[in-house]
Chain A
């Protein structure tokens, strides 16, 4: 279970070709790419779902009010 370092189900381009590949565009296989993408979106969605801090609501309300007063 733990000794499977060599068993690469999803693989990054081997070290030997790394420097060459970095010159052009490195490409991940689709499995790794999906994994990275899923993790990224999961992390990001958690941030998006955080409640909006009051300061933003207050800020926009304040500007709204101020503008109504100045235009009145």
Chain B
């Protein structure tokens, strides 16, 4: 294993919050996400010679994490497939304080997207990667990423009934309660 230089160690540590956010959003489970991040760091350290200095360390780490997630996903495909949303229901990633209910709906909707769409949307729409970077991370064409992101947004809008909701404030709960009585 290559020696992690102090600045590299710091760079890896600095990448952890965004790797975790990506892993949690991708897998929907904090424990599994943390295992993924740990495996990513270990794999990165043992493959440091493959990393081109001066290129985007985060993009490289995201690529590793994404590939680990997919090889694991293929193994446990049956377990993870979730047409009725029970997997989505297990998304309990809220911190104790400041828990916001309006994210719950969003998380469940996100969990119902096909994995390739979910990861494309997360990379471009949340992690701040360009379409080109996301395409590199996923090993596909830029056009494919664009298409997946569009589909993901469209699907989320349908799942969340974005067209019916005027705002996403606390009022939406009252409105949902009222609507369910109609």
Listed in ascending order, the chain A residues whose CB lies under 8 Å from chain B are 1-2, 4-5, 8-13, 22, 25-28, 32-33, 35-37, 39-44, 46-50, 52-53, 55-57, 59-61, 63-64, 67-68, 71
Contacts and interface: CB of A to CB of B under 8 A. Distances in A.
B173 interface: no
B86 to A, nearest CB: 20
Given A5-B164, A12-B154, A64-B4, A44 B21 contact: yes
B95 A50 contact: yes
A52 B4 contact: no
A40 B126 contact: yes
Given A2-B178, A40-B126, A44-B122, 10 more contacts: A25-B147, A27-B154, A32-B157, A33-B157, A35-B162, A36-B153, A40-B125, A63-B1, A63-B9, A67-B1
Interface residues of B, number: 52
B38 A63 contact: no
Contact of B154 (A2, A9, A26, A55): A26
Interface of B: 1, 3-4, 6, 9, 12-13, 16-18, 20-21, 24-25, 34, 37-38, 41-42, 45, 93, 95, 100, 102-103, 106-107, 110, 121-122, 125-127, 146-147, 150-151, 153-154, 156-158, 160, 162-164, 166, 168, 175, 178-179, 182
Given A56-B37, A67-B3, A41 B20 contact: no
B163 A12 contact: yes
Nearest to B2: A67
A25 B150 contact: yes
Given A39-B106, A67-B4, A56 B13 contact: yes
Nearest to B165: A35
B41 A59 contact: yes
A48 B17 contact: yes
